[in-house]
Amino acid sequence: MTLHPHWGHKELLETLSTARARESLPATLLVQGPRGVGKQHLALWLGRLLLCPQPGPEGPCETCLSCRLALRLEHPDLHWFFPLPRPKTASTPEKLTRALEETRGEVLSEIRKDPLKPLTVDGARTLYLAAARTLRRQAQNRPSMGDRQVFIIGEAETLAQGESSSEAANALLKLLEEPPPGTALILTSSEPGRLLPTIRSRTTHLHLPPLSNEEVTDFLMTVRGVQEKEATKVGLLSQGAIGRALRLLPDGEDPGSLERIRREAFNLLQATLAPDPAGAFRTSLAFRPTGSRGLMELFESLEEWLRDLALAASKGETSPLNPGEEAYLRDALLRWSIHPPRAAEALVVVDEARTLAAGNVNPQLIVFGLVTALREVLTNQGTASSIREMK
């Protein structure tokens, strides 16, 4: 199978195509935008645009040998790096390098089989120093087919994760500042603030905005073959992000991976606002005692529920991010007399939990402290504590 054409962002694609025709595209780009909005897909489209020998005003021709190879993720001059879990058998730097390349090859093989199937990778994922060195070494080689090569670094914020953060990021600084002739580097990030300032300053920033929910719905029906009713429902939850929508789609009898996280975040909110405060302890025991970095998406989803809670408290006219639970939120507001400033303060509590998760604190402790602190903030029971004081 091959990658689907980039969906939406027509004016942006035309602008980039014009810049390519004028040879004015920056050698180092940072594509940033909401999670799942299509940043890595745009980076791959840019890769085809740069490698295509005769691109048109709307982008790569998609029919030449170069484009066909790139669409199958088999082009020898298109290198795509992304965060991976640490291989369990990598006991030396050399073994880690080999194991990461083997795992990257396996993931690319899975994407080739079904580019629209969301990948499920267990464990915390990182762009390791070994991967940065592999990329840097490959960048010194001559292109295999033409006179260009393109390197894509997906989720580049994971370069700043863990003890080797500065090493992995710093390994790329000189390459970003002075890429070899004919070499393009495209970084993507949903959290550019987590990148080292030295990396941000060496890249030209390109913001990729969300699509309309209608555009996402059309994509699901046209490309994914989803029935209109389901596509419309998921489109409303997508926040304009196709990647998010694909992870919300059910897989057979199971809900999508992101739908599970969305419901789990709602369960956290319910435990927070339940009459029985012991629910915080019971909820925390449902989590494994390791793998705290896997909580990041859960916290993002919880923030969306808190945003909906604040919206209901302020009686705003903006549509909720999670339609369907407005009655529960209104009842919770009445039960605890929650005002909008409390919901805003609750977001600070979630951010503290995110910081602890990045530091690999026990997930059960994080969740217990999070729900307890959120309860104090939202229900005004007791003195609000920092979650860091509760771990």
- pLDDT per position as a tens digit, 341-355: 888 899 999 999 988
Task: Return d(Cα 18, Cα 255) in angstroms, integer.
Answer: 42
Percent over 70 (pLDDT), the chain: 94
Structure tokens at 155: 């989720």
CB 114 within 8 A of CB 223: no
Looking at residue 389, its pLDDT comes to: 57
pLDDT at residue 87 greater than cutoff 90: no
Task: Return d(Cα 367, Cα 387) in angstroms, integer.
Answer: 9
The domains of the chain are located at: 10-207, 211-249, 256-389
Task: Return d(Cα 276, Cα 273) in angstroms, integer.
Answer: 8
Highest mean pLDDT among 210-224, 348-362, 366-380: 210-224
Looking at residue 166, its pLDDT comes to: 67
Phi/psi of residue 340, nearest 5 degrees: -50, -40
Residues 6+ apart with CB under 8 A from 127: 81, 82, 83, 84, 153, 155, 156, 158, 159, 161, 168
Structure tokens at 272: 């927070």
Looking at residue 163, its pLDDT comes to: 42
Could you tell me the pTM of the whole model? 0.88
- pLDDT tens digits for range 134-151: 999 999 999 999 999 999
Phi/psi of residue 294, nearest 5 degrees: -70, -5
pLDDT at residue 317 greater than cutoff 80: no
- pLDDT tens digits for range 269-307: 999 999 888 888 888 888 888 777 778 889 999 999 999
Residues 6+ apart with CB under 8 A from 60: 45, 48, 49, 51, 52, 67, 70
Looking at residue 387, its pLDDT comes to: 59
pLDDT at residue 120 greater than cutoff 80: no
**CATH 3.40.50.300, domain 10-207, yes or no:** yes
pLDDT at residue 391 greater than cutoff 60: no
Indicate the pLDDT class of residue 121, thresholds 50, 70 and 90.
low
Higher per-residue pLDDT: 242 or 316: 242
Looking at residue 383, its pLDDT comes to: 46
Report the C-alpha dihedral over residues 302, 303, 309, 312, rounded to 10 degrees: -130
CA angle 58, 147, 32 (to 5 degrees): 50
Looking at residue 360, its pLDDT comes to: 76
pLDDT at residue 202 greater than cutoff 80: yes
CB 116 within 8 A of CB 247: no
- pLDDT tens digits for range 49-72: 999 999 999 999 999 999 999 999
Alpha carbon 285 to its chain centroid, in Å, reads 27
